[in-house]
Structure 1
Amino acid sequence: MHVVLPDGKQLELPQGGTALDAAKAIGPRLAQDALAATVGGELTDLMTPLPEGAQLGIITKKKPEDAAAVFRHSLGHVMSQAVGEFYRQKGYPAEAVKRGVGPAIENGWYQDFDLPEPLKEEDLPEIERLMREIIGRNLDFSRREVSKQEALQQFAADPYKHELIEALPDDQPITFYTQGDYTDLCRGPHFPRTGALPTSFKLMSTSGAYWRGNENNPILQRVYGVAFATQKELDEYLERLEEAKRRDHRRLGKELELFTIDPLVGKGLPLWLPNGTVLRDELTRFLREQQFARHYQGVITPNIGNLELYKTSGHYQNYSDSNFSPITVDDEQYMLKPMNCPHHVRIYASKPRSYRDLPVRLAEFGTVYRYEQSGELNGLTRVRGFTQDDAHIFCRPDQLKKEFLDTLDLTVLVLRTFGMTEVRLRVGTRDPESTKYVGSDENWDTAEQQIIEAVNEVGLPFTVEPGDAAFYGPKLDFVVRDVIGREWQLGTIQVDYNLPERFDISYVGEDGQEHRPVMIHRAPFGSLERFVGILIEHYGGDFPLWLAPRQIMVIPIADRHNEYGQQLVDELRDLGLRAELNDSTSRMNAKIRDAELHKIPVMLVVGDQEQAGRQVSVRERGAAGTSERKGVPFDDLKAELLERYQTRA
């Protein structure tokens, strides 16, 4: 058999040859340094037989980070072995430890266990110690293909492995990987030996997880670990985690009195407190202004709809797992609204349309409801009721590119306004193997091509993700990296030829005939709840002046300055600025600390000198720390703050 090397040369190997055989054929030094391989760009290990004509690359210890997913998976196996040894030391037999799945994930891995007694957080350092000991033994990983019968016999005492094996096709190869006395059912890939694994890892936490994600199955104990090629990368990651804890929107949301989730109201149904409502109102006002300038028309639709509406659109069938159950009213069935788009289609259809009327741009801050499992709910970022900044554009085919580009421009403007400048674009297309998509191949091909052409025209880099499209059309998603390096999918733009067909909507063309409009779905924020949750963490609660729920705190030094302070507050509020007076009996420094704790961006300190000269001393919070200005004329400051607020500086 032959494989093709990165330089294009062909290498002859015996039938069933592996990447390790290829490395040995090239040279003994390469074989010694090899850790993993790629076949056609996909990671594999050195032990797996190669296919004929494989495009082969060898990953060595010079760049172990290129095989991060492999060493993380191997560390998961080392941890699983260590857990077994931990319980044997406690006197339990080997079969007392049963194992579910254990994949590599971003930054690390997890492994599910059914244990004779639960692991405690304080046990994790001992598991880490055993892992390092196993790594020090430099055990070889070996791969072996077995029959289904042999696999079932090997794991006869483990119901979880038994269930996985039973579900495998009879003609599918089943592989075991072994290091030392530990063997597991596994597809791989793995490093060649434990001694080659990095020691820059850490066990992070344990949690409960339903077997195979089904809440009717037993709850297993899931142990998470993280690992990197170097200790420096691990330290930086752990530092980012600590920063993420400090910025956690659930903690800051409580401290800054932005929102609350009350169990009596219901899980995943946030209540916006006065401060959070101000923040939300500023966001909606900002986007409404942008939409007005772009000739959108506002609409409002109900929170429930007839079930037939969502059956016609396809949302009922295609999102059945995330819809709330229908309710019966007067012999009709209704459902909590999962999407705004079918309602907007019916608004479009409420009267005849001419080609001269198009494009029709309908916008709504519409609240929708979707069922999320309790374990997936998370503050504002995963909820059951949320408001989308939804708009749907109905246009002629010849208008589509301009409308798409205008929408792309709006979404980029929104993200840049909030300092979200690290953005990557992701084009979601059909999965050619899936049957979930509705509509003709011709319409899909056209829509996908138009999105890619539009993004190419503005010169923005993007990736294509097959299978990531909505059931009715392809989409362009905006994936944003926040200030501590995490990625979030926010805005989206979708091109849809199919809902107009499903609802049989049309416009009268210049030729007097009926034609089908094209539909663009767009939501620059995505949802207000999720966007606010991400904004809180992105800013760490330190919002810019225009967005801050509490903008200005006037701080009198003594009681005799309260009247002057109140006068300043009244003048600022007359301008529409959110100003408050702290006239408590606390000392000035305590008042300043209180304003800083509540992350109020501007503090105006007033005493005898300021009162005499109609001045203020200004303390401002900012990215570079706190700045101070003394003796600032108040009228000048008023104009400055108003301009910053109005221009959203």
Structure 2
Amino acid sequence: MSELRITLDGSERVVPAGTTAGQALEADGRTVIAARVNGQLRDLEHPVAEGDTVEPVEIGSVDGRAIMRHSAAHVMAQAVQELHPEAKLGIGPPVENGFYYDFDVAEPFTPDDLKRIEKRMREIVKQGQRFSRRVVSDDEARAELAAEPYKLELIGLKGSASAEDGANVEVGAGELTIYDNLDAKSGDLRWKDLCRGPHLPTTRVIPAFKLMRTGGAYWRGSEKNPQLQRIYGTAWESRERQDEYLAMLAEAEKRDHRKLGAELDLFSFPPELGSGLPVFHPKGGIIRKEMEDYMRQRQLEAGYEFVNTPHLTKSSLFEISGHLPYYGEDMFPAFELDGVDYRVKPMNCPMHNLIFRARGRSYRELPLRLCEFGSVYRYEKSGVVHGLTRVRGMTQDDSHIYATKEQMGEEIKSLLQFVLSVLRDFGLREFYLELSTRDDSDKFIGDDADWEEATEALRQAALDSGLDLMDDPGGAAFYGPKISVQARDAIGRTWQLSTIQLDFNQPKRFGLEYQAADGTRQQPVMIHRALFGSVERFMGVLIEHYAGAMPPWLAPVQVVGVPIGDAHVPHLEKVAAALRAHGIRVEVDASSDRMQKKIRNAQKQKVPFMLLAGDDDVNADAVSFRYRDGEQKNGVSIPDAVDEIVKAVRERVQV
């Protein structure tokens, strides 16, 4: 028998010809469920070849979970077609924390349908059906899947850049493959699907799954295509991990900023205005003002200069900047005024370029840091608009920094530390960074050398920060690479917040120049920076992070006075006046409600401090403290009470 040399665990091994990746790894098919062969994910049944490097893929790894979830999607699709034979298959990729599959059916799925589908899935999992890969020609695939119109369309897209939104799970460049679900005992075909794979060895390896919900989804993400019915599910490497995830979802539901926004009277979305256009009520306005005031203070201290730009502009401005051809679908339509096309602005950077260009600039002015709380408008599709975190009208805390190439590296490092410092002040503590770069697609503009230099400058700044760095190939803006700060909230979810983009292209397009020390005219580099991303989105993130219980400095009402009886109201009004003298937002509940109801009302409104007063407090010129967690401290003198509250607000502590 001939032999092969492969690399396993970093060392060379000799194995018999015909050895599979699973055999080489001595995989049990439950913990190690796939292999990475020469960097490519493969089934355990994949035969190894001379010189291959073989690595294990465990079910609990990022790749392992994706493989397991994609296998669960196949099981779900099989169950659907067994229960609904008329259902036509769309696509079924793994996604973060789960999977989905799209189906063309006459009627939307009901909750009872989901129960039956999940029950059938459990039967298929228990049967231990085997996933078996086979290579087919295009004609063979078309013949086998003649009854599946969406699969036939994907076959026509094989290797095309048009195969998007999960379609690459089904097809790709090179050979075309079908996965069969085979009976564990007889080997008979139970179901099949067009798929690139890889998959688990058998259905029995799916340890825990649950169907979550249904919804509509346009085929391949285009409103011009038919609307299919999408079933979402989740799957995990153990029941314990799934239980943790479901518990997190339950907690996330309690923290939903849309629900809390209504309960706390912070904001609303009047239907008369249109989707994705929020209005902020007085209490929500206080939070916004505190956020913006703090950012203005920090930016002024850091050498930023505030500017202001209009909400409208001629469309031609976005042709100069390059946004119109690359970003046009995300803009609101143009409208004509005096024979010229105008648009509401979707971003501030082109206008900031005009400010820079308005007069001659010297190297002595650089770095020039322009900033603005600018209102922008973006045409988000109705299906993705979501509370404050995905809106159509937003306020960007935008900054554009113009610097020399020599200043570029240190400016980015300093800027990254500034961004992290601000986010920490708002109570976020855990971060990692993502570096978004260009790929081979045609959506990027500019010279390769400029991109390489800009990418390396961002990468070095990210590495110097000491934070974990993840690569995001293809995720860059059309004009330059970016670093995004990913922050974890109180329940472990990740949010993309601040972004830093390095742009060599817009200064060229706008002809921006400064006079260098030697008298020559030089082109500056441009750094785009958003701290919050948008004020609206960041406010939504903070509401969910704090479950609506904002830290005292951000709370709309910081103190509520709760009198035991009407006779104690004047005493608390005196305390309130002392607090207001220090800028504290305080109310005294002089309503006819009983004291316990007043306390419950303040708790529901998540007020940081309650000050109670009865006869003993009046006689001692004191108050009784009650905190959000129910702890109480009696007999606190008025000066001490005022000092404690003022200190908590000024030091931005969480109570």
Q: 2:199: which partner in 1?
A: 190
Which deviates the most, 447-456 or 175-184?
447-456
C-alpha distance in 2, partners of 1:251/1:40?
49
1:75 maps to amino acid: A
- Report the Cα offset of residue 56 of structure 1: 1.2
Given the alignment, which residue of 38, 41, 44 partners 2:42?
A: 44
Which deviates the most, 242-251 or 162-171?
162-171
Name the SS of the counterpart of 2:360 in structure 1: coil
Name the SS of the counterpart of 1:319 in structure 2: helix
Q: 2:634: which partner in 1?
A: 630
Relative distance call for 1:33 and 1:558 in structure 2 (3 A) is closer
- Report the Cα offset of residue 137 of structure 1: 1.6
Q: 1:339: which partner in 2?
A: 347
TM-score, normalised via structure 2 length: 0.92
- Report the Cα offset of residue 117 of structure 1: 4.1
Q: Deviations over 1:234-261 (max 9, x none)?
A: 1100000000000000000000111101
Relative distance call for 1:443 and 1:31 in structure 2 (3 A) is closer
C-alpha distance in 2, partners of 1:289/1:26?
58
Is 1:463 aligned to 2:470, yes or no? yes
Q: 1:91: which partner in 2?
A: none
1:62-461 correspondence runs (5 A): 67-87=64-84, 94=85, 96-168=86-158, 172-180=174-182, 181-198=190-207, 200-431=208-439, 433-461=440-468
Name the SS of the counterpart of 1:550 in structure 2: coil
Relative distance call for 1:204 and 1:501 in structure 2 (3 A) is same
Q: Deviations over 1:481-520 (max 9, x none)?
A: 1111111100011122221111111111111221111211
TM-score, normalised via structure 1 length: 0.93
Q: 1:90: which partner in 2?
A: none
2:205 maps to amino acid: A
Name the SS of the counterpart of 2:631 in structure 1: strand
Contact 1:252 1:541 (8 Å CA) reproduced = yes
Is 1:525 aligned to 2:516, yes or no? no
Relative distance call for 1:125 and 1:586 in structure 2 (3 A) is same
C-alpha distance in 2, partners of 1:630/1:242?
36
Give the number of equivalent residue pairs. 631
Contact 1:341 1:392 (8 Å CA) reproduced = yes
C-alpha distance in 2, partners of 1:341/1:386?
15
Is 1:503 aligned to 2:520, yes or no? no
Q: 2:163: which partner in 1?
A: none
- Report the Cα offset of residue 598 of structure 1: 0.7
Contact 2:480 2:504 (8 Å CA) reproduced = yes
Which deviates the most, 374-383 or 130-139?
130-139
C-alpha distance in 2, partners of 1:278/1:25?
63
Given the alignment, which residue of 4, 26, 29 partners 2:7?
A: 4
Relative distance call for 1:435 and 1:83 in structure 2 (3 A) is closer
Contact 1:363 1:392 (8 Å CA) reproduced = yes
Q: Deviations over 1:306-339 (max 9, x none)?
A: 2121111111121111011111111222111111
Name the SS of the counterpart of 1:201 in structure 2: strand
Identical columns (%): 45
Q: 2:500: which partner in 1?
A: 493
C-alpha distance in 1, partners of 2:574/2:477?
56
Q: Deviations over 1:390-422 (max 9, x none)?
A: 111112222223322221121111111122111
1:6 maps to amino acid: D
Q: 1:600: which partner in 2?
A: 607
Which deviates the most, 585-594 or 38-47?
38-47
C-alpha distance in 2, partners of 1:154/1:243?
46
1:276 maps to amino acid: G
Unaligned stretches of 5+ in structure 1?
Answer: 88-93
Is 1:58 aligned to 2:45, yes or no? no
- Report the Cα offset of residue 33 of structure 1: 7.8
Relative distance call for 1:111 and 1:397 in structure 2 (3 A) is same
- Report the Cα offset of residue 350 of structure 1: 1.3
C-alpha distance in 1, partners of 2:407/2:10?
47
Relative distance call for 1:507 and 1:161 in structure 2 (3 A) is same
Name the SS of the counterpart of 2:383 in structure 1: helix
Name the SS of the counterpart of 1:600 in structure 2: coil
C-alpha distance in 2, partners of 1:32/1:74?
13
CA RMSD between the two structures: 2.1
Which deviates the most, 471-480 or 232-241?
471-480
